[in-house]
Amino acid sequence: MPQTPTTVVSSDDDLDLGRLFGLLVDHKWWILAITVLFGVMGSVYATLQTPIYRADSLVQIESGANAGPIQGLAFMTGEESKIEAELGILQSRMVLGQAVDQQQLTLSVTPVRFPIIGEFLSRQGMTKPSFSDKSAWAGENISVGKLQMDTALNGQSLQVRILNEKQYRVVLAERELGVGEVGVNESFAGGLVVLRIADIQARPGSTFNLRLSSRLAAINSLRGRLSINLQGKDSGLLQLALQGPDADQARRTLDTISEIYLLQNVQRQAAEAEKSLAFLEEQAPKIRKDLGDAEDVLNAYRSKQESVDLSMETQTMLTRSVELEKQLNELNFSEKELRRRFTPSHPQYQALMEKKAQVSREKEQLESQVEGLPETQQQILRMRRDVEVNQEVYVQLLNKIQEMRIAKAGTVGNVRILDEAVAQPGPIAPRKKLIIVLTTLMGGMLSVVGVLGLGMLRRGIETPDQLEALELPVYATVPLSDEQTKLSEKNSYYTQQKLRKLNRERGINGLLALRNPTDISIESLRGLRTSLHFAMLEAQNNCVMITGPSPGVGKSFISANFAAVCAQGTQRVLVIDADMRKGRMHEAFGGKSANGLSDLLSGTKQLDDVIRISDIDGLSFMSRGIAPPNPAELLMQESFSRMLQEVSEQFDLVIIDTPPILAVTDAAIVGKQVGTSLLVARFGKNPPKEISVAKQRLGNSGVLVKGAILNAVERKAATSYGNYGYYNYSYK
């Protein structure tokens, strides 16, 4: 016999981890299927995605004395090349704009592929099949020599359809513009479009979309695909990388960027050398004139004083004074150069002025020492100092002018291209393995979350303890059998119709109690027979109403098979189908719905005409009859009460199957006239709130629900691992 051990009931608000784990176990195949489906979708997505390739090159920016002749003039510039500035130049519109122009990146030529899989098949080398008339396939391309479009048409797609090796048709916005010849500058749309196709390597019917974007948009797109990384803090090595769907174009574009950057660097160095040379040549005549004037003054003074020799002390002062004047002159040159480049607040300019002030102070100290010399010695010292200083500066200036002329003629810049651009053999994107792993994990997580979410939202009754918590004694728990599964509403419409036809053909064999009397569900109904016997001892009559909160809970299954079980126990039993709207109990007995309860209550039939004898001894049944327009009104008539009184006297047990109480009021009307009312709840379907509302609605009509039947109980991990821990056993 069925036994139903239970554990202590926990609060509904508690988080039942065991039940959640059980839900995952119950739906493990769904979770696995969804996870695999997501993994397959990720694999398909990664396979169909256009691969992205990467080209890279290596550039060196030299610094110090080897960085070029202009850097040798440290006395004028006092600065070194900044890597940050070079990075900015590499990504500037000046450099990238020239690359866009040279590589025609404003023009995009896109072949029209077969939908979804055309790009993938083309990459696999598939040639044009017979069923594809407009798509371009592997090895098909065109070379566009020139495309000019009016600015109003920028961004619009120009379609080129290949006619043959020498001709093509041009279409714009579904409007045909004309036919063009290969290698000829063709004008379309009144001169708004000028196009020259240099070469066609495609079969007739292949279509290509040509789009001309703005120069700024192309520069921004190129900048977004270009990455520059500094290799080491002070190495001056820059790694340039460019990504794109066309590996060869990425390599060519990156080479162009490197060459443009190198060229502008050389031009910039040459321009600086030219400016410095002009400045030096401007100063040379002035220094030459100052030197001549100083020599004239010295010679005149010597002649006047008839030669004057310098003492050892004065000679030392002269040497020191010449050095200081030389330093001041160099600092003055540097100040003029820096004044052209920086504001007085610049750190380099400030450092130069501090150095100049220091030298000036040393010069003043030396002048104070010179003041202590005899007058003749002072005059000779100052004159010889002027001559020697001007001579040193003039000689140095001539040397710098010569160096600058050589530098201007042989400027090489401070940039070297160490590695030319090379496209890596394999694509860097999409990362197929990562995509597959992520999509598989996403599928697993979504399926788990979905199962747990639905499990938390659909908290149907799963144990007798939940019904007893609603103050409903549980008279029976009926496990779900394979036979009952076939009869349940979970099956397809076709399966239900087929089973009903078979039931009508084999008559009483439609009852599970007769087909499989040892089924665990029937054993549970035998237990209900015993429990109900004691529950009806104090009832007003021997009529039992079986109803449910909603359709599909299995109340008709319970009513018919419970009646069969009771009849097999030597009782005289009548089962009445009081669901005059959609009742189908007659199908279980192999009969028809006509000549039933509705016909009796409407007065067209007598009681003896509607009670039918079944093949089971002691079991009779009454079908619903012809569906009336007013079932509730018929049940409220005196004839229904008289009928119940008569059948109660004729039979030991009268079982009445009614419609669901939450759908219609029929059950409330019937329940007031029977001695015992039972409520059927389906495992996992009816939530406690629904059961409570059904009980309350019956109670508001004066119907006391004696107890409940938990139907279609399944062995699930959610209940096995859960806090309720409900189990079913069979004994054979």
Last residue of a domain, one of 168, 187, 212: 212
DSSP string, 369-390: HHTTS-HHHHHHHHHHHHHHHH
What average pLDDT does the segment 85-105 reach? 93
Task: For 455-470, write each residue's pLDDT tens digit.
Answer: 777 778 888 999 999 9
What average pLDDT does the segment 133-158 reach? 89
Which residues neighbour 186 within 8 Å (Cβ) at sequence distance 6 or greater?
170, 178, 180, 194, 195, 196
Does 11 map to a domain?
no
Task: For 377-434, write each residue's pLDDT tens digit.
Answer: 666 666 776 777 777 777 777 777 777 666 665 556 788 999 999 999 999 999 999 9
Mean pLDDT lowest among 40-49, 315-324, 583-592, 713-722: 713-722
pLDDT value at residue 489: 44
pLDDT value at residue 307: 52
* 3-state SS assignment for residue 186: strand
Whether 449 and 390 map to the same domain: the answer is: no
Average pLDDT of the residues of the chain: 83
Rounded CA separation 112/677 (Å): 72
Q: For residue 244, give both structure tokens.
A: 């794109």
Whether 327 and 178 map to the same domain: the answer is: no
* Cβ(490)–Cβ(552) below 8 Å: no
Give the residue with greater pLDDT, 63 vs 44.
44
Residue 314 confidence (pLDDT) above 90: no
Residue 128 confidence (pLDDT) above 80: yes
Give the residue with greater pLDDT, 130 vs 429.
429
Give backbone dihedrals phi and psi of 537, rounded to 5 degrees, phi first.
-60, -35
Whether 648 and 543 map to the same domain: the answer is: yes
DSSP string, 101-146: HHHTTTEEEEE-PPTTTHHHHHHTTPPPPTT-SS---TT-EEEEEE
Give the residue with greater pLDDT, 86 vs 506.
86
Give the residue with greater pLDDT, 367 vs 542.
542
* Cβ(410)–Cβ(351) below 8 Å: no
Does 594 map to a domain?
yes
Give the residue with greater pLDDT, 234 vs 528.
528
Whether 117 and 161 map to the same domain: the answer is: yes
Domain that holds residue 691: 464-715
DSSP string, 25-72: HHTHHHHHHHHHHHHHHHHHHHHHSPPBEEEEEEEEE--GGGG-GGGG
Give backbone dihedrals phi and psi of 181, rounded to 5 degrees, phi first.
-105, 145
Q: How far apart are the first and last CA of the chain?
A: 8
Cα diameter, the chain: 170
What average pLDDT does the segment 597-623 reach? 92
pLDDT value at residue 247: 94
pLDDT value at residue 154: 75
pLDDT value at residue 311: 60
What average pLDDT does the segment 688-703 reach? 94
Give the residue with greater pLDDT, 633 vs 283.
633
Give the residue with greater pLDDT, 461 vs 725.
461
Task: For 182-213, write each residue's pLDDT tens digit.
Answer: 999 999 998 999 999 999 999 999 999 999 99
* 3-state SS assignment for residue 618: coil
Whether 508 and 564 map to the same domain: the answer is: yes
Whether 510 and 612 map to the same domain: the answer is: yes
Task: For 341-350, write each residue's pLDDT tens digit.
Answer: 777 888 888 8
3-state secondary structure 494-560: HHHHHHHHHHHHHHHHHCHHHHCCCCHHHHHHHHHHHHHHHHCCCCCCCEEEEECCCCCCCHHHHHH
Give the residue with greater pLDDT, 135 vs 390.
135
Residue 520 confidence (pLDDT) above 50: yes
Give backbone dihedrals phi and psi of 190, rounded to 5 degrees, phi first.
65, 30
Residue 486 confidence (pLDDT) above 70: no
Burial code (b: 16+ CB inside 10 Å, e: under 16) for 51-71 equals: ebbbbbbbbbbbbeeebbbbb
Residue 640 confidence (pLDDT) above 70: yes
pLDDT value at residue 346: 81
Last residue of a domain, one of 166, 189, 212: 212
Res. 670 pLDDT band, cuts 50 70 90: very high
pLDDT value at residue 506: 42
What average pLDDT does the segment 614-627 reach? 91
Residue 235 confidence (pLDDT) above 90: no
Sheet with 207-212: strands ordered across: 107-111, 207-212, 157-162, 167-172, 175-181
Give the orientation angle of helix 215-225 with respect to helix 93-103, to 10 degrees. Answer: 110
Whether 157 and 280 map to the same domain: the answer is: no
Last residue of a domain, one of 180, 197, 212: 212
Rg (CA), the chain: 52
Stretch (H or E) spanning 420: strand 415-423
The amino acid occupying position 559 is: S
Rounded CA separation 606/610 (Å): 7
Give the residue with greater pLDDT, 522 vs 484.
522
Mean pLDDT lowest among 137-141, 176-180, 370-374, 554-558: 370-374
Does 261 map to a domain?
no
Tokens 């006391």 correspond to: 704
Does 694 map to a domain?
yes
Residue 514 confidence (pLDDT) above 80: yes
Residue 352 confidence (pLDDT) above 70: yes
Mean pLDDT lowest among 170-179, 274-283, 457-466, 585-594: 274-283
Question: Where does residue 610 rank: exposed (0-12), middle (13-18), buried (19+ CB within 10 A)?
Answer: buried
Q: For residue 270, give both structure tokens.
A: 């040459």
Whether 200 and 334 map to the same domain: the answer is: no
Residue 64 confidence (pLDDT) above 80: no
DSSP bridge partners of 183 = none
Rounded CA separation 81/68 (Å): 11
Give the residue with greater pLDDT, 130 vs 214.
214
Q: How many CB atoms lie within 10 A of CB 248?
A: 11
Residue 318 confidence (pLDDT) above 80: no
Does 155 map to a domain?
yes
* Cβ(563)–Cβ(575) below 8 Å: yes
What average pLDDT does the segment 200-229 reach? 94
Does 201 map to a domain?
yes
Which domain CATH number covers 469? Answer: 3.40.50.300
Question: Dihedral (C-alpha) 322, 327, 333, 335: value to the nearest 10 degrees?
Answer: -140
Whether 674 and 705 map to the same domain: the answer is: yes
Residue 729 confidence (pLDDT) above 50: no
**What predicted TM-score, i.e. pTM, was given to this entire model?**
0.65
Tokens 């012809």 correspond to: 626
Rounded CA separation 451/285 (Å): 93
Q: For residue 390, give both structure tokens.
A: 């001007």
* Nearest-5° Cα angle at 559, 554 to 565: 120
Give the residue with greater pLDDT, 324 vs 627.
627
Whether 471 and 348 map to the same domain: the answer is: no
pLDDT value at residue 730: 46
Q: For residue 102, give both structure tokens.
A: 């040279």
Res. 484 pLDDT band, cuts 50 70 90: low
Rounded CA separation 543/492 (Å): 34
Residue 5 confidence (pLDDT) above 50: no
pLDDT value at residue 197: 96
Does 102 map to a domain?
no
- What is the count of structural domains for the chain? 4
Whether 131 and 201 map to the same domain: the answer is: yes
Whether 588 and 668 map to the same domain: the answer is: yes
Stretch (H or E) spanning 612: strand 612-613
Q: For residue 525, give both structure tokens.
A: 């109904």
Does 404 map to a domain?
yes
